[in-house]
Each structure stands twice: as C-alpha cells, then as structure tokens.
Amino acid sequence: MKLIWSLIVNELRLYHAQRGLQFAFILALALLGIFRFGIPVDNVQSATLEIFPAVAYLIANLQLLLMAIGWESDAYAYRYYAMSGIPLASLFFAKSIVSFLVQIPLWLFCIAGFLLFFPVETPSVTIMIAMLVTCLPLGLALAPAGQLIAAMAQHSTQKNFLAIALFLPLCLPVLIAATGRLSAVIQGLDPLRYDALLIAAALVFSGAGNLLFGYLFEE
C-alpha cells in the first residue's frame, strides 16, 4: 500500500509540475466556445446539446494523455520503473487512480462551461448534482483505458499518432454512454443503463490492463 501511495504522489507531482491540468482547462473552455459560437445551436433542441461537454471533455482528456506520454518518454519514466523493480500491477493501479482523480475537476469545468455558454435552462440542485456525479462512472471507464493506450503507444516512434488512433475508437462507447447519461439526467429519466455501460467499459479496460499492461510495458 505504501508503494502504491508513493507512486500516486509521484504521478500527481508530475501533473502539477507540467501544468497539464491547467492546459486541459483552457483547451476544454476553448472547445466549448468554438462549439457555442461556431455552430448554430440557438434553435437546436436542448436534448442534443449534451454531446458538446462530453466531446470537449474527451478531447481534453486525450490531450492530457498525450502530454503525460510525452513527459514519461522524455524523462524515461517507464525505464526507471522497470529498473526499480516496481510491480507492474501496482503501477497500472496507481496510474489509473491518478488519471481518475485528475479528470474529476476537468468534468466539473466542462459542465460549468456548458451551462455558461449554451442556451439551456439552469438545472435544479438535484439535477446539477447528478450531472456532476457523471464524472465518477465516466472516469472509472476512461482512466484504465488511457493507461492501457499509453502502454501500447509509449515504445512507438509515432506515439502521439498511435495514442490518438487507439483512443478515439476505444472510447467511442464511453462518449455515447456519457452523453446519454447526461441527457437522461437533464430530462429526469433513469440513467441506470448508461451507468451500466460505463461500469462495463471500466471492467473491460481494467481487466485488459491487468492482463496486458506488463506485456506492453516490457515490449
């Protein structure tokens, strides 16, 4: 447990030192502004607008992943972990936890930007809480997926291209489920089926990560 905690603290320091989250905030805000003022959405049904914060969040998450891969590559982080004899299961778990924690304020920021920019009614406190809580199942699905993709891409000479090519199709079901959950919550419907899809994706990515992370890490 002490080892995992040390890994988590180290990864969080990396995000803080490289200012990755601040850049992701700026990117998400810029994307929401482009979606709002670059696309005619004034006469669009509000039920179709929920895709915009989810897309901005997903792209900002991808940028965070690319930045993290770049930091680790430049600092030879994977080589350091391998030489230190750190258990790969612990490394995957710690990196997934950090990725999950980092994405929570990013989702809250995207929801705030969505309510600020787009012509939607101010939701009630209950609906607002449900919208914000979407970050939990969403993060559980994306965090292990991102670490699995990073392990696949980190040895490639075209690591950014490979990470993008893997991230978009793998996370498409997550985007669909997040948009559906957000729409259901705003309309007062039961989002349970979307939660089930997100949890299923989290289990699949976590299982694949536990099985393949060590192999991909050492390749």
Quote the tokens at residue 217.
């890490």
Q: Kindly report, residue by residue over 16-66, the tens digit of the pLDDT.
A: 665 667 778 888 888 888 887 776 665 555 556 778 888 888 888 887 777
Q: Kindly report, residue by residue over 70-110, the tens digit of the pLDDT.
A: 766 555 556 666 666 677 777 788 888 888 888 888 888 88
The pTM assigned to this predicted structure is 0.81
Burial 147-156 (b: 16+ CB within 10 A, else e): bbbbbbbbee
* Domain boundaries defined on the chain: 2-218
Residue 158's φ and ψ, nearest 5 degrees, are -110, 55
